[in-house]
Homo-oligomer: A and B are copies of this chain.
Amino acid sequence: MDPKIAADTIWTLFTAMLVFFMNAGFGCLETGFARQKNAVNILSKNFIVFAISSVAFWWVGWGLMFGNGTPFAGAEGLWMLGGADNSPATGDAYQGAYSAIGWTGVPLLAKFFFQLVFAGTAATIVSGAVAERIKYLAFILFSFLLVAFIYPVTGHWIWGGGWLASRGMWDFAGSTVVHSVGGWAALAGALWLGPRFGKYRKDGTISPIPGHNLGLATIGCFILWLGWFGFNPGSTMAADPGAIAHICVTTNSAAAAGILGATLYSWLRLGKPDLGMTLNGCLAGLVAITAPCAFVSVGSALLIGLVAGFLVVEAVIRFDRIRVDDPVGAISVHLVNGIWGTLALGLFAQEAITPGTTGNGLFFGGGTGLLTAQAIGVASVGAFVFLAASIFWLILKATVGIRVSLQEEIEGLDIGEHGNSAYPDFVTRRTLPVLVESSSAGAAQPATR
């Protein structure tokens, strides 16, 4: 056995597992940021979404993304991983259907697993923005469509040897490929669904709807931070010591700076250091460093993260002002900072850090060429994903329906969609009046609780 392939495979699978675990992180974060009456629904969405993604990406997503084909989509080995393995690990079977990902020698199923967890991340981003009002079935179907058809197409453009790759766009670990794709789909969903009942009042005021469990949200964000050490350093798909160590540190530095930036800015702008902003600042820094992590210095990473921290606070406030209701700030985190990170690569990239790849960005004497390529990528991916997602959302709206009834929304999706309650033993502000009345009426509490 070639020890390099063993080390590369360990690294690829290990980091893929970390990225897989980000599903738990998103689940905790989104549930914590929403109300308790919708907790089961959000947990269910975030739990089932990776199962949906696993089937969709295996069925056709992988083939569309990495199959040899046109500059716009894959075609060879399209269905169910049907192409021959092109990895050195398989010896004689080297020539294959997925040559765009032939640069790493790990086995085909290791490549698939790593790419699957990325596809799953894109789907789970949508979940937060459409929370507390979307029908469970509509979310399941949209996730399938996103992972089977939308995500792999733009992914092919950039990572599958498509036209944006040829055009000189770089996105190391997916600020655009994953995060802004998820973000655009989330924006489309939030717009077609409309805001939650009671969020924006007729008198023009905005009603804050705080999350119900900030402990859960914070655990979630820690898990996501951990997961990003898989997301970015794992995107080498090889145990290249210098690269993976470098990417660990740029990734962490951007997260740290995003935290400090968002905390400081919310402290100044809102009067107090809001925990939700601190958490989203972390994610903003991480999203932003995802594209450039391998190509920029630690100092640049700190700057990129700091800007991301400011951006996310400002974006959350501004999206609220234009009445785009995003319960968890997913659009501000993933779309806004996915764009920022992709552009930042065009500003901060340094030839010396990863020779023979991006060349220098604008701030390091490389001119505007790289930045332009990045901007074209941002715009074209945005246009395609927003359009395609909107079409799917509208088809779903016209068929199964995408929004629960007003009554169900008011009473909570947990009972309405699932027949479950997340915390049946606890007294909530909703249940208190009823319970107090039945209590003073002498009704016995159930002995088994």
Chain B minimum-CB-distance residue to A221: B47
A424 within 8 A of B: yes
Given contacts A252-B54, A439-B432, A448-B207, contact A222 B47 (CB under 8 A): yes
A152 at the A/B interface (Cβ < 8 Å)?
Answer: no
Q: Is the CB of A429 within 8 A of B420?
A: no
Of the 9-residue stretches A35-43, A341-349, A364-372, which lies at the interface with chain B?
A: A35-43
- Would you call B419 and A449 a contact (CB within 8 A)? no
- Chain A contact residues: over half helix, strand or loop, or mixed? helix
Q: How many copies of the chain does the oligomer comprise? A: 3
Q: How far is the CB of A102 from chain B (nearest CB, A)?
A: 16
- Across the interface, name the chain B residue whose C-beta is closest to A273: B418
A38-93: which residues lie under 8 A (CB-CB) from chain B?
Answer: 39-40, 43-44, 46-48, 50-52, 54-55, 58, 80-81, 89-90
Cβ contact of A4, chosen from B1, B37, B421, cutoff 8 A: B1
* Min distance, Cβ A404 to any Cβ of chain B, angstroms: 13
The answer, yes or no, to whether A323 is at the interface (CB within 8 Å) is no
Chain B residues, Cβ within 8 Å of A116: 252
A338 at the interface (CB under 8 A from B): no
In the assembled complex, how far is the CB of residue A16 from the closest CB belonging to chain B, in whole angstroms?
A: 7
Contact, CB under 8 Å: A278 / B421: no
Among A106, A209, A276, A418, the one with the most B-chain Cβ atoms within 10 Å of its Cβ is A418
Q: Are A21 and B429 in contact (CB under 8 A)?
A: no
Say if the beta carbon of A298 comes within 8 Å of chain B.
Answer: yes
A205 within 8 A of B: no
Residue of A13, A28, A257, A271 with most chain B CB atoms under a 10 A cut-off: A13
- Contacting residues, chain B, for A109 (C-beta < 8 A): 242, 245-246, 248-249, 298
Could you say which of A158-166, A182-190, A212-220, A390-398 contacts chain B? A212-220
**A268 located at the interface, meaning its Cβ lies under 8 Å from any Cβ of chain B in the complex:** no
Query: How many interface residues does A have (CB within 8 Å)?
Result: 129
Q: At the interface, yes or no: A363 with Cβ under 8 Å from chain B?
A: no
Cβ contacts under 8 Å, A191 to chain B: none
**Of A39, A248, A260, most B-chain CB atoms within 10 Å:** A248
Nearest Cβ in chain B — how far from A259, in angstroms?
4
A14 to B274, CA, bound (A): 32
Q: Can you list 22 A-B pairs, Cβ within 8 angstroms, ordered by A? A: A10-B239, A14-B14, A28-B219, A48-B259, A51-B259, A51-B282, A52-B256, A54-B252, A54-B255, A58-B253, A89-B241, A109-B298, A113-B248, A198-B446, A212-B424, A214-B423, A270-B419, A276-B420, A410-B447, A429-B445, A429-B449, A432-B435
- Given contacts A48-B278, A106-B245, A109-B298, 8 further A-B pairs with CB under 8 A are A7-B239, A17-B229, A36-B425, A58-B298, A110-B241, A214-B420, A426-B428, A433-B439
Top 10 nearest A-B pairs (CB, nearest first) are: A24-B222, A110-B245, A54-B256, A9-B241, A51-B256, A51-B259, A198-B448, A109-B245, A3-B3, A272-B419
